[in-house]
Chain A
Amino acid sequence: MPACSANCGKNAILKRPKTGDALCKECFFEAFENEIHFTITRAKLFTPGSTVAVAASGGKDSTVLAYVLKLLNEKYGYNLKLVLLSIDEGITGYRDDSLETVKQNRDDYEMPLKIMSYKDLYGWTMDEIVAEVGRKNNCTFCGVFRRQALDRGAMLLKVNYLATGHNADDIAETVLMNILRGDLARLNRCTSIITDSGDGIPRVKPLKYTYEKEIVMYAYFRKLVYFSTECIFAPNAYRGHARVLLKDLEKVDPAVIMNIIQSGESLCVNETANMPTLMTCERCGYGSSQKICKACTLLEGLNRGLPRLGIGKSSKVKKLIEQDDLKRSAAGCCKSKNKSDCGNCACNKNEIKRDLSKAVEELKI
């Protein structure tokens, strides 16, 4: 077995994908933690005295993120207050177990935990959504809803930052995916270490340059408890293709991951490219590239019984809604008459559920 590249005299236990160095356990821990510290300080990621919500799924990335942030906060005196924020999508047999792991994190790392559910925020669980839309586009719903759920949760907790566990492999995968889709707006911003969704809470990615392999090895050697599963609905997710491609490339040369991230960072989108402008959703007030944000469109589709409404081109949405309004008007539904009088359909109920003030009350922060 080779000796540690740091010349400490111990045997190496890991070959670093980024550098090719062979390190012993102690030198690996130090290098791993120091690099994250360096990423945080170089980007001036956190203002001292602020509160940071760690988006916690119970998986490897968020578990390692919570552990390392706590460790660095104490070691380097960041003076941060750390809290855990979890989203319960309402997927029976999947999230139930991982939320138990998050509760374990809460106890182990002594951080307060807030769990927000899709049911509270949107009136629908993922189980109910899948029953409605089938398994082809369900990941669209889940992804769009989760993003906003985290924003809403962060706002309710009145935190200054939302930290997510996106690692180097995730970012490289996203760059590839945005190229494959020709999504220039996302390609332009997906490598940012800090993103601000309108006047929302800044999202930060402290593990942006950390390889997935090292995260898993770190968790293994530190004996951190995390939950891993495959989402029972996930096999249809598009992201999987980009992932397989990236993992195959990484096997040939692990540097491709860092190279893709660097390419994404230095990339400058041509001025003539058609870029959407960021505005606020007329309905919920969150940042959006359309008048009505994706989450509200998807939700309206669900509530109208037109689950495919938000899938595909946004230009078709208006037409579909007009057609549906005409139908409802003929049937005497509230969508075209006085809302409060309506007893014919479920649309009233679900709109109330989406009211943020109600969510605050329900959650009792």
Chain B
Amino acid sequence: MSGLNITIEFGGGAELLFGNKKKQEVILPAKEGEWTLKDLIFWMKDNLLQERPELFIQDDSVRPGILVLVNDADWELMDTVKYVLEAKDKIVFISTLHGG
């Protein structure tokens, strides 16, 4: 089984936690069972996050105030952390916690 190819984008200041890169294409390693958004969030914490994990993760999800979009739709329409990723998905993380 080969890895899962997805695109991750950041906005609203969330990119500041990820080395200021606004867009990253990643290949998630093959694993037993499906990749959920929760798996992705923890994988990002271990593999992409550069600083201050407490500003990205809280409990089993992203920190409240970070919006998540799956293929340009609100993840709250798709069971949030339980959403099962598919190849070529675009996941966007937008912080509302940063000011102007």
Task: Answer whether residue A337 sits at the interface, using C-beta atoms and an 8 A cutoff.
Answer: no
9-residue interface stretch from B30-38, B42-50, B62-70: B62-70
Contact, CB under 8 Å: A60 / B73: no
Task: Answer whether residue B25 sits at the interface, using C-beta atoms and an 8 A cutoff.
Answer: no
Task: Answer whether residue A13 sits at the interface, using C-beta atoms and an 8 A cutoff.
Answer: yes
- Given A12-B73, A59-B100, does the pair A228, B95 have CB atoms closer than 8 Å? yes
Contact, CB under 8 Å: A13 / B74: yes
List, in ascending order, chain A residues with CB within 8 A of B96's CB. Answer: 60, 169, 212-213, 215-216
B contact residues, total (Cβ < 8 Å) = 23
Contact, CB under 8 Å: B11 / A220: yes
Task: Answer whether residue B78 sits at the interface, using C-beta atoms and an 8 A cutoff.
Answer: yes
9-residue interface stretch from A243-251, A271-279, A340-348: A243-251
Task: Answer whether residue A217 sits at the interface, using C-beta atoms and an 8 A cutoff.
Answer: yes
- Given A247-B64, A247-B65, A250-B64, does the pair A57, B100 have CB atoms closer than 8 Å? yes
Contact, CB under 8 Å: A227 / B73: no
A contact residues, total (Cβ < 8 Å) = 37
Interchain CA distance A216-B68 in the complex, whole Å? 11
Task: Answer whether residue A226 sits at the interface, using C-beta atoms and an 8 A cutoff.
Answer: yes
Task: Answer whether residue A88 sits at the interface, using C-beta atoms and an 8 A cutoff.
Answer: no
9-residue interface stretch from A106-114, A229-237, A296-304: A229-237
Contact, CB under 8 Å: B73 / A230: no
Contact, CB under 8 Å: A227 / B100: yes
> Contact mask B66-100 → A, CB, 8 Å, 1/0?
01010011101110000000000000101111111
Task: Answer whether residue A98 sits at the interface, using C-beta atoms and an 8 A cutoff.
Answer: yes
List, in ascending order, chain A residues with CB within 8 A of B12's CB. Answer: 60, 216, 228
Closest Cβ–Cβ distance, residue A84 to chain B (whole Å): 13
Contact, CB under 8 Å: B77 / A12: yes
Task: Answer whether residue A61 sits at the interface, using C-beta atoms and an 8 A cutoff.
Answer: yes
Smallest Cβ-Cβ distance to B74: which chain A residue: A14
Contact, CB under 8 Å: A228 / B78: no
Task: Answer whether residue A2 sits at the interface, using C-beta atoms and an 8 A cutoff.
Answer: yes
Contact, CB under 8 Å: B76 / A15: yes
List, in ascending order, chain B residues with CB within 8 A of A228's CB. Answer: 11-13, 95, 98-100
Contact, CB under 8 Å: B100 / A63: yes
> Contact mask A58-72 → B, CB, 8 Å, 1/0?
111111000000000
Task: Answer whether residue A11 sits at the interface, using C-beta atoms and an 8 A cutoff.
Answer: yes
Interchain CA distance A112-B29 in the complex, whole Å? 52
Interchain CA distance A217-B63 in the complex, whole Å? 17
List, in ascending order, chain A residues with CB within 8 A of B65's CB. Answer: 243, 247
Closest Cβ–Cβ distance, residue B84 to chain A (whole Å): 13
Task: Answer whether residue A330 sits at the interface, using C-beta atoms and an 8 A cutoff.
Answer: no
Closest Cβ–Cβ distance, residue B18 to chain A (whole Å): 14
Contact, CB under 8 Å: B100 / A216: no
Task: Answer whether residue A36 sits at the interface, using C-beta atoms and an 8 A cutoff.
Answer: no
Within 8 Å by CB of A220, from B76, B94, B97, lies B94
- Given A220-B94, A251-B64, does the pair A230, B99 have CB atoms closer than 8 Å? yes
List, in ascending order, chain A residues with CB within 8 A of B64's CB. Answer: 247-248, 250-251
Contact, CB under 8 Å: B98 / A229: yes
List, in ascending order, chain A residues with CB within 8 A of B98's CB. Answer: 228-230
List, in ascending order, chain A residues with CB within 8 A of B13's CB. Answer: 228-230
**Cross-chain pairs A/B with CB under 8 angstroms, 5 sampled:** A60-B96, A215-B96, A220-B94, A228-B99, A229-B100
Ranked 6 nearest A-B pairs via Cβ? A59-B100, A57-B100, A247-B64, A228-B13, A15-B76, A228-B98
List B residues at the A interface (Cβ < 8 Å). Answer: 11-13, 16, 63-65, 67, 69, 72-74, 76-78, 92, 94-100
> A1-B77, A13-B73, A57-B99 are known contacts; what are 4 more A-B pairs with Cβ within 8 Å?
A1-B73, A12-B74, A228-B12, A230-B13
